[in-house]
Amino acid sequence: MDFSQQIAQYIITGLTIGAIYAIVAMGFNIIHNATGIVNFAQCEFISLGGMIMYTLVVHVHANMIASFFISMAAVALIGALIERGPIRHARSKEIIVLIFLTVGISGVLRGAAQEAWGTDNLGVPAFSGENPIRLPFGAIIVPQHIWVFAITVLVVVMLHYFFKKTLMGKAMRATAVNRKAAALVGISVNRMILLSFAFSGGLGAVAGMIIAPISTTSYDTGIMLGLKGFAAAILGGYGNFAGAILGGVILGILESLGAGLISSQYKDAIAFFVLLLVLFLKPTGIMGYGESGRV
């Protein structure tokens, strides 16, 4: 493999993992826009998506497509339950308290997952086989990579349509901009928040499921992916959808190129370092607007 082929390989790898980060970032963004908090349980959504699909496909022998949607719905339901339960009933609405409440919830989910699925890694079968495909630029991928890209694009398109064209999507955006005004025009803010958690759950599950055949899944798979997804969201501008995609892609490629070209030992340090540099130069992320508040 000559140098340009190597670069092509790094870029494809970076785009693949970047797509995952982008989806996770979008999940973080939706909840941030609706509630202003960081939902650490997002990490668990990713793990659970992969693991529920594993159980359905490998143990129940369900059809793969059906398993995909059932898993997505299940995790969306879990997200909704989290909102309806602990989050809604929390006595304090202070952001830092709610954030750490999600940390606690994350721990409970993780412990429960460890009980249910054990501590071993689980292999999920690829959606359509594992025969390598050689691309024009010399990079080699497997069909799962195509699924990752295809589903990511689909998710982005559908979310875009949802938020721009449907009434519910517009209502959610309205809630994000100004809660009081949204309530005044008759939008049920509580329902919008519930929906945002459900969406976030579904997105996390999708991310977990499409990467599971490549990376295997386990009760703690989601932590690193969640962390980097959050970083991608911040990099692109927290709360901004285009930013999530941009942030995810940039982070993924940075990591991959860093590993390939500079040093595989320091690749995470390099990626985070660049992230910090960007933040110091543009404190609200690449596409973010300032966080304003009343004085």
Partner 1 sequence: MYMKMKKEEKMKKGSLIIVAVALTVGFMLGTSPCYSAEPVKIAGIFALTGRAAHIGTAQRDAVLIAIDEVNAHGGVNGRRLEMVMGDTESDPTKAVMALKKVLESADVVAIIGPTLTGTAMAMRGFIEKEQIPAFMHSGGDVILNAPLSKDDPASLPKWTFKSPYKAADAMGKICEYMSRHGIKKIGFLYSNEGFGKDGLKNVAVQAPKYGVTVVAEEAFEPKDVDMTAQLTRINAQGVDGIIAWTVGPAMGIVAKNVKQLGIKAPLFECHGSGDPIFWKVAGEAGEGVMMPSTKIVVADQLPDSDIQKKKIVDFVSAYKKKFNQEPGTMVAYGADAAYIVVDAIKKAGPDRAKIRDAIENTKGYVGISGIYNISPEDHNGLSMEDIVMIEATKGGWKLLK
Partner 2 sequence: MNAFLKQKDILGFAVLAIFIIILPAFVESRYYYIVLNVIGLNTIVVVGLNLLIGFAGQISLGHAAFYGLGAYFSGILTVNYGFPLWPAMLVGMLATGIVAYLIGYPSLKLRGHYLVMATLGFGIIINILMGELEQFTGGHDGLIGIPQLAIGRLVFDNDLKNFYLIWSFVFFSMLAARNLINSRVGRALRAVHGSEAAANALGIDTAGYKVKVFVLSAMFASLSGSLYAHYITFISPSSYDFYYSIQVVTMVIVGGMGSLWGSLFGAGVLTFISEALHFAKQYHIIAYGIFLCLVLIFLPEGILVGIYNFILKRKAKKQIKTDY
Binding residues for partner 1, rule: CB under 8 A, are 1-2, 6, 9-10, 13, 16-17, 114, 118-123, 125, 130, 132, 140-142, 211, 214-216, 218, 220-221, 223-225, 256-257, 259-260, 263-265, 267-268
Q: State how far the Cα of 4 lies from the Cα of 119, in Å rounded to an integer.
A: 40
CB of 106 to partner 2, least distance (A): 7
Q: State how far the Cα of 91 lies from the Cα of 240, in Å rounded to an integer.
A: 29
Interacting residue ranges for partner 2, rule: CB under 8 A: 32, 38, 86, 89-92, 94, 96-97, 100-101, 103-112, 114-115, 227, 230-231, 234, 238, 265-266, 268-269, 272-273, 275-276, 279-280, 283-285, 291, 295
Q: State how far the Cα of 247 lies from the Cα of 236, in Å rounded to an integer.
A: 4
Of the pair 204, 213, the CB lying nearest partner 2 is at 204
Q: State how far the Cα of 43 lies from the Cα of 48, in Å rounded to an integer.
A: 9
Check the CA dihedral 117-118-121-123 and report its sign: negative
Of the pair 127, 163, the CB lying nearest partner 1 is at 127
Binding site partner of 6, from partner 2, partner 1, none, Cβ cut-off 5-8 A by kind:
partner 1
Of the pair 33, 144, the CB lying nearest partner 2 is at 33
Q: State how far the Cα of 109 lies from the Cα of 206, in Å rounded to an integer.
A: 18
Of the pair 58, 183, the CB lying nearest partner 1 is at 58
Whether 276 and 292 have beta carbons less than 8 Å apart is answered as no
Number of neighbouring beta carbons within 10 Å of residue 36 = 15
